[in-house]
Structure 1
Amino acid sequence: MESRRGYTMRARSDAKAATRQRILRSVLELSEEKMTIEITLDEVAARAGTSVQTVLRHFGSRDGLLDEAVAAASAEVVEERRAPAGDPAAAVRVVVAHYERRGDFVLRMLSQEHDPRIAAVVGPGKLLHRAWVEEMFGPLLARPADREALVDLLVVATDVYAWKLLRRDRGLDAATVEARMLALVDAILGRS
């Protein structure tokens, strides 16, 4: 009888984890479609195929749900932007692919920066981008005297707004955007 109980407890635990993941995925999907402030628990529950009460049981509150969603999205972003350090072409390729997947969402978040909850997400995101630039291009920054200036320029050249200007405003295809951003990076690094 003990083994049957263990199996039941394991199945229950797995189902609970799957429900939690469905809820998190639902709030992330909704945040790609609309402003975060507009997302309701009813919408999240409906998309996840569960009830508002279940959402609250898992996360405690709407704020708790959003906090967990931010943590999950941040972990995904770090994975999406992995590239070998010191390889500008690979770095630009992964950041453009990341923006192709999440750029419009990031821009929507930046437009809500006045909301303290969103500012708490966007601020660390900006720091994450700068740290990514330092990691990706650090091996190529041999001139310590102007390192900070070079990092600043590389942050700008690989920023979501650079992608937006080329992809959304100019209407260029992703491959052309990648080539132009890489040309900026190479010029900054003195490789052109």
Structure 2
Amino acid sequence: MDAPRTYTMRARADAKAATHLRVLRAVLELSEEKMTIEITLDEVASRAGTSVQTVLRHFGSRDNLLDEAVRLASADVEEERRAPVGDVAGALAVIVAHYERRGDYVLRLLGQEHDPRIAAVVGPGKLLHRRWVEDVFRPQLDAAGGDRDTLIDLLVVATDVYAWKLLRRDRGLDAATTQARMHALVTAILVGK
């Protein structure tokens, strides 16, 4: 007699989890289209195929919803940026692909840095990028000796979203040329150490 009840409870829990994730993904999609402050619960609910009341039942408030969406996006970004350690070309292929996917969105976030909620996103994002540089280029940094912090700073700049923007958006270069130019920068930094 317990089996049907257990199945029903599990099905409900699965449906609740799916709705929860669908709402979070709706927030992330909307945040790629407009400023975070412009996103309304009505839009989120509509995009997720649910009601505002359901959104509030899951998250309690718009602030809690945005906070949880930030956590999910951060986890997605970290996974997206995984790159082969010590492989300059491979690492740059990963980071340029990441910027092709999220670069314009990240630039929009950086433009909203004055908002404490956005600052809470971009601050850790900047630290994540620095750690990425330290991890991905660790063999080259270990071999270079000298002033490690200076090399890391230069590599952070050469692989930053703003470097991508200058080449890709401002200069209008294609992704492959942008990647090649970033590769030339990184190589010059590592060789010139």
Place the TM-score, normalised by the shorter chain, in its bin. Answer: over 0.9
Query: Aligned partners of 1:138 and 1:44: how far apart in 2?
Result: 41
Number of residues of Structure 1 aligned to a counterpart in Structure 2? 191
In the TM superposition, what is the alpha-carbon distance from 1:2 to its structure 2 partner? 0.7
Alignment of 1:41-190 (within 5 A): 41-141=41-141, 142-190=143-191
Amino acid at match of 2:45: A
User: Is contact 2:24–2:69 with CA below 8 Å preserved after alignment?
Assistant: yes
Does the residue aligned with 2:76 lie in a helix, a strand or coil?
A: helix
Q: What residue ranges of structure 2 are gaps of 5+ in the alignment?
A: none
Does the residue aligned with 2:4 lie in a helix, a strand or coil?
A: helix
Q: Deviations over 1:63-100 (max 9, x none)?
A: 11111111111111111111111111111100000000
The aligned counterpart of 1:6 is 6
In the TM superposition, what is the alpha-carbon distance from 1:144 to its structure 2 partner? 3.8
Does the residue aligned with 1:163 lie in a helix, a strand or coil?
A: helix
In the TM superposition, what is the alpha-carbon distance from 1:146 to its structure 2 partner? 1.0
Amino acid at match of 1:99: Y
The alignment's TM-score, normalised by the length of structure 1, stands at: 0.97
Query: Aligned partners of 1:107 and 1:77: how far apart in 2?
Result: 14
The alignment's TM-score, normalised by the length of structure 2, stands at: 0.97
Query: Aligned partners of 2:26 and 2:102: how far apart in 1?
Result: 16
User: Is contact 2:88–2:183 with CA below 8 Å preserved after alignment?
Assistant: yes
Does the residue aligned with 2:50 lie in a helix, a strand or coil?
A: coil
What percent identity do the matched residue pairs reach?
79
Query: Aligned partners of 1:138 and 1:50: how far apart in 2?
Result: 46
Amino acid at match of 2:86: G
Query: Aligned partners of 1:164 and 1:153: how far apart in 2?
Result: 17
In the TM superposition, what is the alpha-carbon distance from 1:139 to its structure 2 partner? 1.3
Amino acid at match of 1:39: I
Amino acid at match of 1:7: Y
Does the residue aligned with 2:132 lie in a helix, a strand or coil?
A: helix
- For the pair 1:18 / 2:18, whether they are aligned, the reply is yes
Q: What residue ranges of structure 1 are gaps of 5+ in the alignment?
A: none
Does the residue aligned with 1:190 lie in a helix, a strand or coil?
A: helix
Does the residue aligned with 2:83 lie in a helix, a strand or coil?
A: coil
